[in-house]
Structure 1
């Protein structure tokens, strides 16, 4: 699977750590990771502008899955779910990630990268991504 990392400008300072964690978890599983930014030295882009890019990337089949976020994660989730080609989930913890992959079989997830990120934010990202990619997508509720 080709996985894109991209987030709103409000959390550009988290791009590097988000990308590193995605690579750490998903690369050993054979997934290709592409970092689309937003980088700290770029112009500012709102979550609605990034959501439009996410829809274009998924609809064009340039990527298979998107990992993103904004300050609360909510704005990005709302914006993406209004656009074609995006089935988006808001992920706060490993349980959310696991269930989203198994039940919803979506193609994009949003993390809160500001609000509540805290001192364990990086571990929560890592553990959530481990659970997201722990098995096959779309197999239904765990038995």
Structure 2
């Protein structure tokens, strides 16, 4: 009887743990695969694919308003080639990124970074990043390589 109960508990624990790792093993869409390869080419280690967080058609007016102005005015993020196109934003958690060691007052990075890759027609057109913090951090984003200017 005890062995049976132990087996049931072990089976429950394994089931719960495997459910928590679903995002790491989930199948990537074509855009997510392109984004992942881009991130790895930049030298970052992908810890997990989170999801597609946004899809929109980019217009000149959008780039003038929040939140789009935060993304598209960063160094390396030129909106012109993406105007009139559907932009898909794929989110990953990475390490080996400059923002892994970010500090601001008492808030500090947990040693990993959120990276958002913006794609249009299967090509990377922009990217943003944000440190995963131990406390809430307010403000904008950095470009994919952790720069703001």
TM norm structure 2? 0.28
Larger radius of gyration between Structure 1 and Structure 2: 2
- The structure with the largest helix share of the pair is 1
Bigger relative contact order, structure 1 or 2 (CA pairs below 8 A, ≥6 apart): 1
- Give the TM-score normalised by structure 1: 0.29
